[in-house]
Amino acid sequence: MTRDSPASEPGGVPPLSEGDPDVSLSTENLALAVRQAVADGLLTEDRPLAGFLDVRGVRESVAALHEAFAGVPDVLHAFAAKACPLVPVLRLLADAGMGCEVASPGELRLALDAGFAPARIVLDSPAKTRREIREALELGIALNADNLAELDRIDALRPAGCASVLGLRVNPQVGGGSIGAMSTATAQSKFGVALRDPGARERVVEAFVRRPWLTRLHAHVGSQGCPLPLIAQGLAALHRLAEEINARVGHRQVTSLDLGGGLPVNFADDCVTPTHAEYAAALTAVEPALLDGRYQIVTEFGRSLLAKNGFTAALVEYVKEAGGRRIALTHAGAQIATRTAFMPEAWPLRVSAYGPDGMPKRTPVVPQDIAGPLCFAGDVVARACPLPALDEGDVVVLHDTGAYYFSAPWAYNSLPRPAVYGCLLQDGHVTFATVRPAQSLREISLESGRDHADALLTGFAAPSLP
């Protein structure tokens, strides 16, 4: 439900003027959103942390993706649900023309609840149960088998007249990028059939020869930290394999290529680079026939569509000094920025400083640590960050957190999941809609077994199963 903010009424927070110094359009919109969030009471002592998603920005990112592939006559852009598993966000993406890629029963449930048609959902996972496979096949959801043993399961479970598009994931083994955990085409990757292992390529070809219903090939080289030439090299190998299979069977059995996601995001500044258009150009440069229309194309982008359209805002609770370093203790820590806390070099975040009124801080810039509320020393999201000197009651903003950060929290210290709001900027004013309310303490207790409090004292005679 959309709630009009006071900005749309007399007396609301006015937009920043175009004459404000050193303010780009995106920075101006962010500042306006922060000011209005403070004015609307979305950041208070009781709610000191919240995530925000720019609805117009999301639609523009989706439009740019479609434009980048405008020359491909048959393409399905399936949003990677893991990047933001929130039903209102998924419904927004469905309305913008996206399909949905899911990798678990929970993500599938969310995609269906968000309104995606089964034919526009793609199921990927390296460990699907027979029940998951059966449900997908019954619903007509596209499915990419991760390995040859999974194809045997599909043989046994596939119903007559099955409408699912079925594919096989292969690993082109072209190497990794700068972040090993995000590189999925290494020699020992857990994903797909390792195509360069002895005898593997022939086994893949034979698997297609024996199964006329197997019509799709899938590969995913990696995401953050993987350069475009490496991604293009791996997907060109996928195209060559498709051509080889079709030549072996004597007709076009493989009719679609699932290229996965994997567009890196620039976290250094506001610039969107690389773009989806640059991604498509890189693929065409390595293999001109890849996007020429002979194959239906499926993509599975996630982070690149949402990251730069979201931010996280948190109140500063205390400021102190230790060892000559100024430390701002905030409510934004590893519970929402887990990767940043544990791998700061790979997942750096930009931070901005605002006063209690939501206005940008103008105090002298000093190096500061931005620390979170968790009880371990590594709970820091930025170290020695040059910012206007922060004080108690100020607001810090973590940029580019629209994907993964506020939608995949870590439950350490039983901290509540923060509220997430969609923000819509129109005519210099901001309105907000609740995407997910803040988690209550009662909900935390329920998740932690409150209704089974005596289970270890009296519950062994009759354990309950869901």
Is residue 462 situated within a structural domain?
Answer: no
Range of the domain at 279: 72-301
* Co-location of 112 and 233 in the same domain: yes
Q: Is the same domain home to 296 and 318?
A: no
| Same domain, residue pair 274 and 357 | no
Q: Which of 295, 303, 375, 297 is nearest to 335 (CA)?
A: 375
Report how many helices (DSSP H) and strands (DSSP E) the chain contains, helices first: 13, 19
How many domains, the chain? 2
CB 399 within 8 A of CB 349: yes
Q: pLDDT tens across 446-458, in order?
A: 999 999 999 999 8
Based on the fold, state whether residues 269 and 380 are members of the same structural domain. Answer: no
* Residue 370 within a domain: yes
Q: What is the mean pLDDT of residues 310-320?
A: 98
> In this structure, is residue 51 part of a structural domain?
yes
Same domain, 340 and 230: no
**251 shares a domain with 198:** yes
Identify the three-state secondary structure at position 198.
Answer: coil
pLDDT in tens, 53-93: 999 999 999 999 999 999 999 999 999 999 999 999 999 99
Residue-wise pLDDT tens digits, 352-376: 999 999 999 999 999 999 999 999 9
Say yes or no to pLDDT of 182 above 80. no
pLDDT of residue 288: 96
CATH code for position 267: 3.20.20.10
Please state, rounded to an integer, the average pLDDT across all residues of the chain: 91
89 in the same domain as 196: yes
Q: Cβ of 450: how many Cβ atoms within 10 Å?
A: 11
The Cα 163–Cα 359 span in angstroms is 55
Instruction: Give yes or no for a contact between 182 and 223, defined as CB atoms under 8 angstroms apart.
Output: yes
- As to burial, measured by CB atoms within 10 angstroms (0-12 exposed, 13-18 middle, 19+ buried), residue 210 is exposed
pLDDT > 70 in the chain, percent: 93
Task: Return the sign of the alpha-carbon dihedral for residues 35, 413, 346, 306.
Answer: negative
Region of poorest pLDDT, from 129-138, 141-150, 226-235, 319-328: 226-235
Q: Which of 2-16, 61-75, 175-189, 278-292 is predicted least confidently?
A: 2-16
The pLDDT of residue 461 is above 90: no
Residue 386: give its domain's CATH number.
2.40.37.10
From 280, 301, 322, give the residue that closes a domain.
Answer: 301
- Do 205 and 173 fall into the same domain? yes
Q: Model pTM?
A: 0.92
| Neighbouring-strand partners of residue 193 | 170
Residue 465, in any domain of the structure: no
Is the model's pLDDT at 17 over the cut of 80? no
Average pLDDT over residues 182-201: 86
Query: Residue 17: inside a domain, yes or no?
Result: yes
Considering the domain architecture, whether residues 311 and 294 belong to the same structural domain is answered as: no
Q: Look at residue 407 in the predicted model and tell me its pLDDT.
A: 80
- Residue 319 pLDDT: 98
- Which residues pair with residue 382 across a beta bridge? 370
Predicted pLDDT at 18? 37
Question: Considering 282, 301, 320, which residue would you say is the last residue of a domain?
Answer: 301
Residue 460 within a domain:
no
6 and 39 in contact (C-beta within 8 Å)?
Answer: yes
pLDDT tens readout for residues 419-430: 999 999 888 899
Within-domain flag for 452: no
Res 261: pLDDT: 86
pLDDT at 177: 79
**Residue 120, helix vs strand vs coil:** helix
- 138, with CB counted inside 10 A (0-12, 13-18, 19+), is middle
- Of 462 and 307, the structure prediction assigns the larger pLDDT to 307
- 226 and 130 fall within a common domain: yes
Residue 8 banded pLDDT, cuts 50, 70, 90: very low
| Residue 244 three-state SS | helix
Q: How confident is the model at residue 25 (pLDDT cuts 50, 70, 90)?
A: very low
Which pLDDT score, from 0 to 100, does residue 458 have?
87
- Does position 185 have pLDDT exceeding 80, yes or no? no
In a domain, 440, yes or no: yes
Instruction: Provide the 3-class DSSP secondary structure of residue 455.
Output: helix
> Do 218 and 106 share a structural domain?
yes
Q: For the chain, how long is the longest CA-to-CA vector?
A: 72
Domain end, chosen from 301, 318, 350, is at 301
Q: Answer yes or no: do 317 and 346 share one domain.
A: yes
Closest CA to 351 of 417, 400, 393, 305: 400
pLDDT > 90 in the chain, percent: 83
Q: pLDDT class for 462, splitting at 50, 70, 90? A: low
